[in-house]
């Protein structure tokens, strides 16, 4: 991260709270960075949940161990559903999840937190890519309606007239489309279906993707790997996993022309985030997010949560949770962006800083 960008991030963080700082002597987030405000707690912090967060968690874990000098993170990327279940059961200190707690989990989570509310902190932001493997086709445009028809089985060939009309001048092969979906309970599937339902006649819902069309694979890396191995395959997956496997990423037409998922187009969507939760419980209004229809904006975004207790931890666990989240907020940098995520900044970063400071 260059010094100019580091200075901007430092100013944003310090404006939010003095106990969190992204500033180091060198103005970068690499090795040797000092992060003021850490408690100095040692021990192993255990989290579990969304595989969409796995690459970010690996990076945060490295920085956490480096900055704390005696603490570590164990994150099991078992899926959002498992993460929420084990958080509610008190088996892990926090859950990573692409979707909020279900209605019937909220009361149980409050009990697990000693009578205190659980908070959703949308800390890991990543665009969902429509990733494909189609030899000979390096650029692909797809409208939302066409995407819905592909995943519902209404469009089955790559040279279908609907796809051809959206890709004039591109020679599309007469090849079967192989749909690959998440076979495990997945917050990515939940959000992708919410997006389709908000904009088309898609009838599916929930974290289990319909199995009538295509084949399933487990986890974000699993679907990306499967698509890499099949010429003609397509899936929905976090952009970082698509880039890791060298997959094509479609430009999606949300109504104002094809848009690729970039820092600029995703941040345009994040600028307009609204929340259905109250206070520090930042449950994103996904219906409003996914219905965004404005130029140069990519609203198909996973606002992935860390679900934590607002209070009720024992002292060591509370300190480890706050220290880890502090480090994560100080790691919203170029290295995180290189992994396919969108570093949080500005007012959203400030909201997260305030929430972490308020955990007691």
CATH of the domain at 245: 3.40.190.10
Report if residue 270 sits inside a domain: no
Residue 107: band (very low, low, confident or very high) from pLDDT cuts 50, 70, 90: very high
**Lowest pLDDT segment from 47-61, 130-144, 259-273:** 259-273
The reply to whether 132 and 256 lie within a common domain is: yes
The reply to whether 65 and 137 lie within a common domain is: no
Q: How many CB atoms lie within 10 A of CB 304?
A: 28
Mean pLDDT of 99-110: 95
Question: Does residue 147 have a pLDDT over 80?
Answer: yes
Phi, psi at 60, each rounded to 5°:
-60, -40
Structural domain span for residue 338: 3-126+302-358
Tokens of 6: 């580091």
Question: Does residue 13 have a pLDDT over 80?
Answer: no
The b/e string for 201-240 (b: 16+ C-beta within 10 A; e otherwise) is ebebeebbbbeebbebbebbbbbbbbbbeeebbbbbbbbb
**What whole-number distance in Å separates Cα of residue 9 and Cα of residue 302?**
22
Report if residue 296 sits inside a domain: no
Mean pLDDT of 156-168: 98
State residue 242's pLDDT score: 95
State residue 322's pLDDT score: 98
Name the domain boundary from 199, 234, 264. Answer: 264
Mean pLDDT of 221-239: 97
Report if residue 98 sits inside a domain: yes
Residue 33: band (very low, low, confident or very high) from pLDDT cuts 50, 70, 90: low
Report if residue 184 sits inside a domain: yes
Would you put residue 217 in left (φ > 0), alpha (ψ -120 to 50) or beta?
A: beta
> 157: which DSSP letter?
B
State residue 153's pLDDT score: 98
End-to-end CA distance of the chain: 32
Question: Does residue 273 have a pLDDT over 90?
Answer: no
* CB 17, CB 308: distance < 8 Å: no
The reply to whether 53 and 179 lie within a common domain is: no
Report if residue 278 sits inside a domain: no
State residue 264's pLDDT score: 86
Question: Does residue 5 have a pLDDT over 50?
Answer: no
The reply to whether 113 and 30 lie within a common domain is: yes
The reply to whether 139 and 254 lie within a common domain is: yes
**What whole-number distance in Å separates Cα of residue 305 and Cα of residue 309?**
13
The reply to whether 116 and 70 lie within a common domain is: yes
In percent, the amount of the chain with pLDDT more than 90 equals 73
The reply to whether 118 and 228 lie within a common domain is: no
Report if residue 144 sits inside a domain: yes
Predicted confidence (pLDDT) per residue in 295-316, tens digit? 999 999 989 999 999 999 999 9
The reply to whether 7 and 28 lie within a common domain is: yes
**What whole-number distance in Å separates Cα of residue 75 and Cα of residue 73?**
6
State residue 15's pLDDT score: 33
The reply to whether 242 and 312 lie within a common domain is: no
Q: How many structural domains comprise the chain?
A: 2
**Lowest pLDDT segment from 22-36, 53-67, 308-322:** 22-36
Please name the residue that has the structure tokens 């600029």.
Answer: 264
Report if residue 333 sits inside a domain: yes
Mean pLDDT of 100-111: 96
The reply to whether 102 and 215 lie within a common domain is: no
The reply to whether 139 and 211 lie within a common domain is: yes
| CB within 8 Å of 107: residues ≥ 6 apart | none
The reply to whether 195 and 260 lie within a common domain is: yes
The b/e string for 52-68 (b: 16+ C-beta within 10 A; e otherwise) is bbbbbbebbbbbbeebb
**Lowest pLDDT segment from 130-134, 167-171, 210-214, 263-267:** 263-267
Q: Output the pTM of the full model.
A: 0.74
Predicted confidence (pLDDT) per residue in 174-215, tens digit? 999 999 999 998 888 998 999 999 999 999 998 899 999 999
Query: What's the mean per-residue pLDDT of the chain?
Result: 89
**Lowest pLDDT segment from 1-10, 41-50, 208-217:** 1-10
Name the domain boundary from 264, 291, 320. Answer: 264
Report if residue 275 sits inside a domain: no
State residue 347's pLDDT score: 82
**What whole-number distance in Å separates Cα of residue 321 and Cα of residue 327?**
10
């Amino acid at each position: 991260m260059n010094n100019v960008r580091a200075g901007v991030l430092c100013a944003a963080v310090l404006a939010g709270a003095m106990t969190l700082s992204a500033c180091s002597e060198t103005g970068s987030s690499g090795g040797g960075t000092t992060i003021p405000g850490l408690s100095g707690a040692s021990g192993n912090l255990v989290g579990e949940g969304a595989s969409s967060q796995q690459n970010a968690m690996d990076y945060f874990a490295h920085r956490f161990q480096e900055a704390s000098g005696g603490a570590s993170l164990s994150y099991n990327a078992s899926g959002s559903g498992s993460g929420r279940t084990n958080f509610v059961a008190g088996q892990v200190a926090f859950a990573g999840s692409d979707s909020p707690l279900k209605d019937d989990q909220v009361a149980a989570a409050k009990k697990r937190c000693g009578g205190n509310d659980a908070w959703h902190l949308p800390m890991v932001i990543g665009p969902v890519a429509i990733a494909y493997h189609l030899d000979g086709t390096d650029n692909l445009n797809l409208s939302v309606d066409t995407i819905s028809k592909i995943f519902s089985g209404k469009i089955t060939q790559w040279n279908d007239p609907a796809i051809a009309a959206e890709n004039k001048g591109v020679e599309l092969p007469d090849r079967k489309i192989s749909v690959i979906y998440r076979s495990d309970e997945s917050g990515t599937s939940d959000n992708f279906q919410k997006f389709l339902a908000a904009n088309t006649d898609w009838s599916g819902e929930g974290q289990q993707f319909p199995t009538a069309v295509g084949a399933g694979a487990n986890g974000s890396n699993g679907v990306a790997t499967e698509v890499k191995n099949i010429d003609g395959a397509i899936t929905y997956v976090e952009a970082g996993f698509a880039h890791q496997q060298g997959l094509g990423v479609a430009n999606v037409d949300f109504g104002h022309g094809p848009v690729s998922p970039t820092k600029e187009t995703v941040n345009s969507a994040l600028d307009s985030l609204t929340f259905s939760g109250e206070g520090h419980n930042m449950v994103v209004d996904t219906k409003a997010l996914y219905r965004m229809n404005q130029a140069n904006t990519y609203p198909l975004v996973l606002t992935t949560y860390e679900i934590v207790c607002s209070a009720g931890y024992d002292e060591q666990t509370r300190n480890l949770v706050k220290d880890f989240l502090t480090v994560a907020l100080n790691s919203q940098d170029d290295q995180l962006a290189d992994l396919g995520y969108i570093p949080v900044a500005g007012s959203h970063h400030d909201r997260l800083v305030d929430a972490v400071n308020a955990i007691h």
